[in-house]
Chains A and B, each alone.
Chain A
Amino acid sequence: MDARTRRRYFVNSLMLGLTGVCTLLTVSILFMILGYLVWNGGKALDWAFFTKLPKPPGEVGGGMANAIVGSAKLILLASAIGIPIGFLAGVYLSEFGGRTFPYIVRYVCDLLNGVPSIVIGIFAWTLIVVPMKHFSGWAGGAALSLMLIPIATRSTEQFLRSVPLSMREGSLALGASKWRTVASVVVPASMTGVLTGMILGVARIAGETAPLLFTCLGNQFWSDGFNTPTASLPVMIYTHAISPYDDWHRQAWAAGLVLLVLVLVSNIAARLIMSRGTAPGS
Chain B
Amino acid sequence: MASESPSASPSPVKLKASNMNFYYGAFQALHGINLQVETNRITSLIGPSGCGKSTFLRTLNRINDTIKTARWEGEIVLDDESIRDIDVTNLRRRVGMVFQRPNPFPKSIFDNIAYGPKVNGFKGNLSDIVEKSLRRAALWEEVKDKLQKSAQALSGGQQQRLCIARALAVNPEVLLLDEPCSALDPIATAKIEDLLLAIKDQCTIVIVTHNMQQAARVADTTGFFLMGKLIEFDKTEVIFKNPSRKETEDYITGRFG
Contact = CB atoms under 8 A, between A and B. Distances in A.
Contact of B115 (A164, A166, A184, A281): A184
Contacts of A110: none
Interface in A94-124: 98-99
Contacts of B61: 173
Interface of A: 98-99, 164, 166-177, 180, 184-185, 188-189, 281-282
B150 A173 contact: no
Given A173-B61, A175-B89, A184-B119, A166 B101 contact: yes
Which of A164, A175, A180, A188 counts the most B-chain CB atoms under 10 A from its CB?
Answer: A175
A172 B103 contact: no
B198 interface: no
Contact of B167 (A173, A184, A185, A188): A173
Contacts of B66: 168-169, 172
Contact of B103 (A98, A166, A176, A188): A166
A170 to B, nearest CB: 4
Contacts of B104: 170
A181 to B, nearest CB: 8
A176 B105 contact: no
B238 interface: no
B84 interface: no
Contacts of B97: 169, 173
Which of A167, A174, A184 counts the most B-chain CB atoms under 10 A from its CB?
Answer: A174
Interface in B55-102: 61, 63, 66, 68, 89-93, 96-97, 99, 101
Interface residues of B, number: 29
B103 A169 contact: yes
Nearest to A98: B68
Nearest to B68: A99
Given A169-B103, A170-B105, A177 B63 contact: no
Contacts, number: 72
B119 A175 contact: yes
A170 B116 CA distance: 10
B152 interface: yes
B144 interface: no
B29 interface: no
B163 interface: yes
B107 interface: yes
B244 interface: no
B119 A189 contact: no
Given A169-B97, A171-B119, 8 more contacts: A166-B101, A170-B105, A172-B63, A173-B92, A174-B119, A176-B116, A180-B119, A188-B106
A174 B93 contact: yes
B134 to A, nearest CB: 16
Given A171-B115, A174-B116, A174-B170, A282 B101 contact: no
B190 interface: no
Given A99-B68, A169-B103, A281-B153, A175 B92 contact: yes
A282 B149 CA distance: 9
Interface in B152-167: 152-153, 163, 166-167
Which of B115, B152, B153 counts the most A-chain CB atoms under 10 A from its CB?
Answer: B115
B28 interface: no
B150 A176 contact: no
Contacts of B68: 98-99
A177 B89 contact: yes
